[in-house]
Amino acid sequence: MARDRYGVGGPQVRRCEMSLDVNTLFQVTIYVEAILGLLLLFAWVQNSSIHAVAWWGFAHIIRAASVLLFGMYGSVPDLISIDLANALLFTAFAVTWTGARVFDGKAVEPVYIVTGAVLWLLVCRLPVMSDNLDARVLIASGIITAYTWLTAYEFWCGRNEALVSRWPAIFMLFAHGALFLLRTPLVATLPWSPTNRVFGSVWLTVISFEALLFTISIAFILLAMAKERTELRHRNAAMLDPLTGIANRRSFLEEAAALGKRQGTPRDAAVLLIDLDHFKSVNDRFGHAVGDRVLELFADTAQQALRASDLIGRLGGEEFAAILYDTPEDKALVVAERVRTAFEQATHEVDGHAVKATVSIGLVNCQIPLADVPTVLAQADQALYFAKERGRNRVEVANLGLVLNKAKTAAASQAAKSAA
């Protein structure tokens, strides 16, 4: 009698336990998806500047709705529990992809958001697909994989932005899409319950559990990306000039000071101190809007003339400075002349006004590591003064060795006076 109960009742109990496990996973998934969606939306309300967080929040809520419908399988028509549930699921992944596009400043494409859902609903209406479960699983997996890999691709395209959390997001999205792509061959090898082809599947349990772990992990990674970007923007705002987008005085001087502390073989370098000629008259004649545009033009033309490895910053007002790495004096002079002529050409006409602005540049040759940053900048300032005195719109080269000797002589003289 006990053997009969085990032989008949045992499998039934196991089937109930499997069904219970899957149902529990469904309920937990619905709860988790909804909570994560609300959490992301709350985070977006706290910092509405990053709109992608709102898209990702809505994606989780849509996914919670799809899982809720899918959990109704058997109690409602398949049109609702299968077709509509999957359509919502595809839309959720599409919304996540859209959020990734918005995160990197790309336009929203409404058509692509519903493409997967529309394709699925059309395919499900085909007679040949009505009883072909494997084909439907393959199509559904392909749609999810496509949207997931597109999301990973969007994050990959924006990798130039220094966000560490991009990389785990890319990896997880690629791995999740690959797992869905493998659903069809795995379905053919894993056992199915003879009484319940959907809820009795071991594979469905694995997919459900993996999807739950993925949705929790990716939500926190995406939230970390948004937080990291906000912190990066705040850090950049403190170090960048808001008008020109280049280093501000504090950032430039800190980097220059860091150069002075670095150890290594001395290498040729050059420091340029640049001042816009008669800039006050530009503001007086054409207005501050044109004056601001002239400053922006100088920053743009100077960055184009310099290398990415060079340092340029706005020290204040119309005064700029640059450090050219691994650049001997003759090459630095060529670069300085290129900056001067490019700016003169760029401002020949600004917003319909014949501005014709020019710059004077003081150049001093030095070595990296810098021995004395204030002395180097003072020498460049002296060369700039000579350029102003000799007619402006020109480059003057200073002798750093001469000034260092003068500085040492002055220091020695001051020490002698103090001793006396």
pLDDT at 289 over 90: yes
**For residues 285 and 368, is the Cβ–Cβ distance under 8 A?**
no
What is the C-alpha radius of gyration for the chain, rounded to an integer number of angstroms?
Answer: 33
Task: Give me 204's structure tokens.
Answer: 């469905």
User: Across the strands, what pairs with 311?
Assistant: 323
Q: Specify whether 79 is located in the same domain as 106.
A: yes
Q: Are residues 33 and 69 in the same domain?
A: yes
CB of 113 closer than 8 Å to CB of 91:
yes
Q: What 3-state DSSP class applies to 109?
A: coil
CB atoms inside a 10 Å sphere around CB 371: 13
At which residue do the structure tokens 């199915």 appear?
192
Last residue of one domain, picked from the residues 239, 271, 291: 239
Dihedral, CA of residue 56, residue 62, residue 67 and residue 72, to nearest 10: 170
pLDDT number for residue 297:
94
What's the CATH code of the domain at 208? 1.20.1070
Query: Can you tell me the distance from the alpha carbon of 158 to that of 36, in angstroms, rounded to the nearest whole number?
Result: 25
Give backbone dihedrals phi and psi of 222, rounded to 5 degrees, phi first. -65, -40
Q: For the CA atoms of 301, 302, 304, 305, what is the dihedral angle to 10 degrees?
A: 120
Do both 79 and 189 map to the same domain?
yes
Residues 290 and 208 in one domain: no
Q: What is the pTM of this model?
A: 0.66
Amino acid at 1: M
Give the end-to-end CA distance of the chain in Å, rounded to a whole number.
Answer: 117
Cα distance between residue 203 and residue 160, in whole Å: 38
Is the bond preceding 369 in cis, omega lying within 30 degrees of 0?
yes
Residues 79, 389: Cα–Cα separation, whole Å: 84
Summarize the confidence of residues 269-286 as an average pLDDT. Answer: 92
- The catalytic residues are 318
Q: Rounded to whole angstroms, how far apart are CA atoms 180 and 183?
A: 5
Are 347 and 356 within 8 A, CB to CB?
Answer: yes
Judge whether residue 312 has pLDDT over 90: yes
Count Cβ atoms below 10 Å from residue 327 Cβ, excluding itself. Answer: 21
* Of residues 278, 324, 322, 320, the one with CA closest to residue 296: 320
- The Cα–Cα gap between 172 and 322 comes to 42
Residues 343 and 258 in one domain: yes
160 burial level (CB within 10 Å; 0-12, 13-18, 19+): exposed
* pLDDT computed for residue 276 by the predictor: 95
Give the residue from 204, 239, 274 where a domain finishes: 239
Q: In this model, does residue 22 exceed pLDDT 80?
A: no
Q: In terms of C-beta density within 10 A (0-12 exposed, 13-18 middle, 19 or more buried), how is residue 366 classed?
A: buried
Same domain, 198 and 130: yes
Q: What is the pLDDT of residues 301-311, one digit of tens each?
A: 999 999 888 89
Examine the domain organization and report whether 225 and 307 are in the same domain.
no
Q: Which amino acid would we find at residue 310?
A: D
Q: What is the C-alpha to C-alpha distance for residues 380 and 374, in angstroms, rounded to an integer? A: 10
**Closest-CA residue to 114 (of 137, 138, 88, 132):** 88
- How far are the Cα atoms of 402, 412, 413 from residue 408, in angstroms, in the given order? 10, 6, 8
**pLDDT score at 114:** 93
Q: 358 by DSSP, 3-state: which?
A: coil
Q: Is the pLDDT of residue 389 over 60?
A: yes
pLDDT (tens digit, 9 = 90+) per residue, 239-272? 889 899 899 998 888 888 777 666 566 678 889 9
Q: Does residue 410 sit in the same domain as residue 281?
A: yes
Residue 115 pLDDT greater than 50, yes or no:
yes
Per-residue pLDDT, 120: 87
Q: Residue 311, SS3?
A: strand
Domain carrying residue 320 = 249-419
**Hey, what amino acid is at 414?**
Q
| Domain shared by 208 and 338, yes or no | no
Provide the β-strand partners of residue 360.
275
Q: Tell me, yes or no, whether 330 and 411 share the same domain.
A: yes
Is residue 326 helix, strand or coil? coil
Q: What CA–CA distance (Å, rounded) separates 340 from 274?
A: 9
Helices within 363-399 (DSSP H only): 373-389
The closest alpha carbon to 160, from 232, 107, 96, belongs to 232
The answer to whether residue 359 is domain-embedded is: yes
User: Which CATH number fits the domain that encloses residue 258?
Assistant: 3.30.70.270
| Count of domains forming the chain | 2
pLDDT at 383 over 80: yes
Which range (17-21, 337-341, 354-358) has the least confidence? 17-21
DSSP 3-state of 320: strand
Q: Within a domain: residue 108?
A: yes
| Res 15 pLDDT > 60 | no
| Domain membership flag for residue 244 | no
Alpha helices in 47-103 (DSSP H): 52-70, 78, 85-103
The residue out of 239, 261, 287 marking a domain boundary is 239
Together in a domain, 146 and 258: no
| Per-residue confidence (pLDDT) for residue 5, from 0 to 100 | 33
The H or E element containing residue 323 is strand 319-325
